[in-house]
Structure 1
Amino acid sequence: MTQKRLPSFSLSGYGANWSANRRIAIVTCAVAVLLAIAAIVSLLTGRGNSHQAPDTAAPAPADSPSPTEAGPPPSSGSGAVPKPPQIAEPVAYAKAAAQMLWSYDTRNASRDQQLAGMRAWMTTETTYADWASVSGQVPDPVLWSRMADQDQHATAGVTEGHYPSAFKAALADDPSAITQAYIYVVTVNGNQQIAWRKGGGGAEERAVTLAVQCRPNHDCTLAAIAPSVTQ
């Protein structure tokens, strides 16, 4: 018998109405980080999904300053959320972060546990962390409760990750621009498999663009979900 599809936890439908003040604040920081180029500033200030583009190599980070406090340290997961990996390469970390964001299990984690586990992946530098763009992807308490009633859960696979062409072009114009915050923009493509009680399920393709902070001699952390990038 065909099962009725429940609303799924994805990166495309939640958190669309963040405050203008929050976005403006992040824009101001991004201008100092990645040049005064509108295309690149937008990569670090909003949210959205992206389409696949060719995979390419990345500029390597090199130099390091001190983080400020914000939220739990990136050292432990919670509930069904895995611990953040110790990865110092932006594309590899972004791929792991996307897989984490596309996976959940309402059978083993409450909504609060899901959020706590996700926050552990975030940068502790408050200047660059856009927690609202990440936490806004989690369904509201009522919807999470409905999903839990049906034992809804999802796993994810990643097919590729790459630097969008606009980000690469800006870095080529001024390679030193990244050395203030070491925030890299990475697009990740993959898929999500959703299942629930009585054999219900389905699969969807996923794509997301992430802002990842990778300071030299430090593991990478997640800074934000970035806006749409098409190349």
Structure 2
Amino acid sequence: MRKRFPSSSLSSYGSGWSTNQRIAIGATVVAVLLALAGVVALLTGGGNSQQTPDAAPPAPTGGPSHSEAAPKPSSGSGSVPKPPQIAEPVAYAKAAAQMLWSYDTRDTSRDQQLAGMRAWMTTETKYADWTSVAGQVPDPVLWSRMADQDQHATAHITEGHYPGAFKQALAEDPSAITEAYIYVVTVNGKQTLSWKKGGGGAEERAVTLAVQCRPNHDCTLAAIAPSVTQ
């Protein structure tokens, strides 16, 4: 079995939005668009995968607390890239997905990983669902086990697009976007994992992100959104 993040980690997406965030975003276009899409299930990732025949440590189970606090700025961000200055939603979502699917436990602590991810988030707390993003990082014990095996991952993005439900809803009511300027974008790609003694594997990935792109401002990440994949 390959050593990798559990299903509620950076390598797979499925953390739900909190009740407060659903209420807050429910007053915005995101709620309208997702309701029209009839979304009730969260994105689970998965797909075709390959791995080397080398035996790998057992995959950890469990995940971080949903009450994960924002990391202290002084912890640094390790190998996590800084958010790019991009004002186009699809391009930003593709960059964010690549960031979320990439990590390196050899030179980045868990706190640094969280700090680096936090820098990509919108500062508008009404729309920011940090829990859905922080929930992708394993708890300290699991991160430590991964670090013991020098586990790291890179990502290749193949495409990003607005789901059909989002485009249809926006066409029906263009003004709905103008309160929060939050766009729903689905991104597809591949994650390649590596660890000690030549171990490794590759998996197809997909994620739907809520990205905030106000006019004349760079985009920011609002949340890992429920699945809208068409």
Fold match (TM-score > 0.5): yes
String of CA shifts for 1:84-131, please: whole Å, max 9, x gaps. Answer: 000000000000000000000000100000000000000000000000
Deviations 1:173-223 (A, max 9, x none): 110001000000000000000000111000000000000000000000000
Deviations 1:125-154 (A, max 9, x none): 000000000000001111100000010000
2:21 is aligned with 1:23: no
2:10 equivalent in structure 1: 10
Aligned residues of 1:107 and 1:151 also touching (Cα < 8 A): yes
Alignment of 1:1-231 (within 5 A): 5-8=2-5, 10-12=10-12, 15=15, 23-34=18-29, 36=32, 39-40=35-36, 47-49=42-44, 78-231=77-230
Structure 2 distance, partners of 1:210, 1:46, is: 14
Q: TM-score, normalised by structure 2?
A: 0.79
Paired residues of 1:48 and 1:225 also in contact (CA < 8 A): no
Give runs of ≥4 in structure 1 deviating > 6 Å: none
Identify if the C-alpha distance between structure 1 residues 209 and 91 changes in structure 2 by more than 3 Å, giving closer, same or farther.
same
% same residue = 72
2:54 aligned partner: none
Structure 2 gap segments, 5+ residues each: 47-69
Unaligned runs of 5+ in 1: 52-70
Alignment RMSD: 2.6
- State the AA in 2 paired with 1:211: A
Change (3 A) 1:219 1:49: farther
- The alpha carbon displacement at 1:49 in A equals 4.6
SS of 1:193's partner is strand
The 1-side partners of 2:93 and 2:134 are apart by 16
Q: Secondary structure at the match of 1:190?
A: strand
Q: Which residue of 1 aligns with 2:57?
A: none
Amino acid at match of 1:157: H
TM-score normalised by length of structure 1: 0.79
Change (3 A) 1:106 1:36: closer
1:5 is displaced (CA, Å) by: 1.7
Which secondary structure does the structure 2 equivalent of 1:230 belong to? coil
Q: 1:177 to 1:116 in 2, by over 3 A?
A: same
Query: How big is the shift at 1:228?
Result: 1.3
Instruction: Say if 1:230 and 1:81 are closer, same or farther in 2 by CA, change over 3 A.
Output: same
Structure 1: distance between partners of 2:113 and 2:41:
22
